Structure 1
């Protein structure tokens, strides 16, 4: 029986309409590399069928609407609709192995009677639905069985893992970057505006605008403004595009380390053998230390 059809264009449209980034989808799926979602949407890769209910739920769609399945489900279809891998079924059968389910899904050996009810419960379907799906897995004709009166929709069976959330507003993100830095050591808003404009080659920032964003008086900004602000603060533009806590932690930590290294260089600390060794290690790890002549060291706020 054909699996559900992943609609790459439909998913991308639903994601954009929901206001989610590819990074947020990846984090919710437990995928560390956001480019995986990009490959899904470009058609270069297809998500595992057990992830389709979760993907649909993330963008607020029913899996039957967004990723329809032609025909009636097999055992593998029921499992995937429950968001489970074959390995996950070992807990339901209490065998410590996926072999019973793998054999039944492959049409080699039917489920032992004592596995049927626990699997039906795990999949959120009736025993009749499970047995009908088993027949289809063995190439037998089986009409649609009545749904269990308390059966849940596929998305509802998916555990809604809470996505770690970092600072959300522009003001909170700016505050996170300066956390632990004394007020007198921070660049002024005018300095940030000048730096961001210079690095992006566009005059989109001004001191008052940066002040308004930093204090939360303005809560929205266009892509060019956020790009310039990110450049001024020595962070990637994606820092302002996502609320992922891991992204926030990595960016703030690396920025803090970079400021510290720049301050060491400004003090002539690289002349010390140990500090010079540290600087070389950083250069090897991250493709280079602070940029020569870069004006990103902490400066007194006027």
Structure 2
């Protein structure tokens, strides 16, 4: 299956229209030398396929519009669209090696059933879509139109054990411009830098609080950076648990609702810091707490 086509002139036009410099693009990609981007635009070099979705997002374009792919995706295509290398998948399969994914992408050995759901979540697609892509990697015909992305299955459930034609909930997708990546960033920015968890720590915390192994460090990184823009309900629920917000925070596309949750979380962190001072400034602390109670209790404060 042919890979996506990198359109050098189209990307340059989109970058200029976005008002970005080559140096800014390079920095966003984690590339130290801006001349690398210059070589992309001149056609002297081609970006790695796992960077195309990120390049399109940087200039405000859909990857399917800016860098179209002829035909339907294989496993390699899904991984690259998620911005992941084969090495990155080792953390998702928890094997310490990319060999299961490498073998499946090369059409040599199919994915073990217990790898399917975690990889689908990491790639931001439904299980059916990943299995269809696997068939294409083995040269088999699959549906002409990929199925709608839907919720990933619990880790212990076999993807092939579903009843035929059973309705599947669609994967929750960010609505509008207030994306999952922006929401994660907003929450982390409301946390003191010395208390800010790493992506791996968030994954561990979310898995522990939900009792399911659905997050991994690379998956959280991919969502936080906007490389993956779709995630199933269990992934978003675990992410919300890790960040100590209600699951609906990631479900809604309403920027105002999301802003309220973000602000209240930041305020709670501040209140906890005030309460931790104990007797120091006790009278001020008590007055602050009374004001907070009045604000959220709905009762007007009566003054003598």
TM-score of the two chains, using structure 2 as the length reference: 0.51
Does the 8 Å contact 1:8/1:42 carry over to 2? yes
The residue number in structure 2 matching 1:122 is 122
| Contact 1:116/1:127 (8 A) holds in 2 | yes
CA offset digits 1:112-153 (Å, max 9, x no partner): 011001100110111000000000000000012232211658
Q: Would the alpha carbon gap of residues 52 and 93 (structure 1) be closer, same or farther in structure 2, given more than 3 Å must change? A: same
Does 2:225 correspond to 1:160? yes
Equivalence for 2:66: 66
Count residues with an aligned counterpart: 161
Is contact 1:79–1:85 with CA below 8 Å preserved after alignment? yes
Q: SS of the counterpart of 1:60? A: coil
Mapping of residues 186-197 of structure 1, within 5 Å: none
Aligned-pair RMSD on alpha carbons? 1.9
Unaligned 5+ segments in structure 2 are 151-169, 175-179, 182-221, 227-304
**1:47/1:159 CA distance change after superposition, 3 Å:** farther
Partner of 2:22: 22
Partners in 1 of 2:95 and 2:172 — Cα distance? 25
Cα distance in structure 2, aligned partners of 1:49 and 1:152 = 23
Runs of 4 or more, structure 1, over 6 Å off, are none
Where 2:129 maps in the other structure, the secondary structure is helix
Q: 1:146 aligned to 148, 164, 177, which one? A: 148
Q: TM-score, normalised by structure 1?
A: 0.51
Give the distance between the partners of 2:172 and 2:133, measured in 1 at CA: 15
Distance 2:104 2:84 in 1: 15
CA distance in 2, matches of 1:51, 1:160: 12
Q: Structure 2: how far apart are the matches of 1:151 and 1:86?
A: 25
Bigger-Rg structure (1/2):
1
Contact kept, 8 Å, 1:83 with 1:158, in 2: the verdict is no
Confirm or deny: 8 A CA contact 1:93 1:115 kept in the other structure: yes
Query: Residues 91, 152 of structure 1: CA spacing in aligned structure 2 closer, same or farther, 3 A cutoff?
Result: farther
1:42 is aligned to 42
Q: In the alignment, what sits opposite 1:182?
A: none
Matches of 1:48 and 1:152, distance apart in 2:
26
Deviations 1:50-104 (A, max 9, x none): 0001100100101111011111000000000100000000111000100000000
Structure 1 residue matching 2:79: 3-state secondary structure: helix
